[in-house]
Amino acid sequence: MFELCSKKIKKTMKDSWEKKAQEDPYRFIDSSKEKWDKKDYYNKGEKEAFNHVILFLKEKTLAQPILKKMKVLEIGCGTGRLSVALAKHFAFVDGIDISEKMIEIAQKDNKDIPNLKFYVNNGLDLSYFSNNTYDFIFSFLVFQHIPRKSIVFSYLKEIYRVLKPGGFMKIQVRGYPPHLPLGLASWRYRSFDSFFVALSEIRRIPFLRIPFLKVKKYDATYGTFFKKEELEKVVKKIGYSDVVAFYDKKNPKYLWVSGKK
């Protein structure tokens, strides 16, 4: 049943991202601009790679000479915006994405970088890669589009399998329900595998609260979300050590989790 469901979800996710890649790949990867200049697009990727990866690994006392020996995997690389930036710091970087068109663009945009390769992935696991392959695995703005918690859990297990002993992962997921405004109402919510339920308490007049129930299915754009404690518990159960989950200071909708094998 899970396998059949996953195949349907895989097709939905793949079709969605192939369409986005055909329409405007840079904008759908980073929607902070309506139209990206190619140079600015990749320059922003360098800043994000430094802030989210290089500083993180330096906090783990991994100096530049150590980074230069490490092999890295980026999950959901899109056109390679972050992968190309990471390739400047690491020995080798692999980028994977569910969209064939995104990978085609990534290969074209970054064809002259010898320590960087891109692969089309099935969007469900890391079965293409062997055990104990990577020193570091990273993903940003990807898992928040996956419409099933069970698939995210599967990925976290796969990441653990593919990491070398002592290797690190850092993954971003959605930390707040999609479609709900931050700070405009007092939301009480719960996330299930394929949908969430939220109850608001909206004050119309003093001392009077009107409840409002919202039920929403996840899709390939607005994917599943997690609470910090839930994510930490799952990651620790898989076997990771040094587990930390935290909300992004600049955007509380982003929830990060890191761990060591």
pLDDT tens-digit series, residues 88-108? 999 999 999 999 999 999 999
Q: What mean pLDDT comes out for the span 185-213?
A: 76
Higher local confidence (pLDDT), 169 or 215:
169
Q: Which residue has the tokens 């692969």?
A: 119
Q: Where are the domains of the chain?
A: 2-178+218-260, 186-216
On the question of pLDDT at 8 being above 90, the answer is no
Looking at residue 249, its pLDDT comes to 86
| 147-175 pLDDT tens trace | 999 999 999 999 999 999 999 999 999 99
Q: What contacts 239, CB < 8 A, 6 or more positions away?
A: 160, 261
pLDDT band at 4; cut points 50, 70, 90: very low
pTM for the predicted model, two decimal places: 0.92
On the question of pLDDT at 74 being above 70, the answer is yes
Looking at residue 167, its pLDDT comes to 97
Q: What share of the chain is helix, strand, coil (3-state, %, to 5)?
A: 35, 30, 35
Q: Quote the CATH superfamily of domain 2-178+218-260.
A: Vaccinia Virus protein VP39 (3.40.50.150)
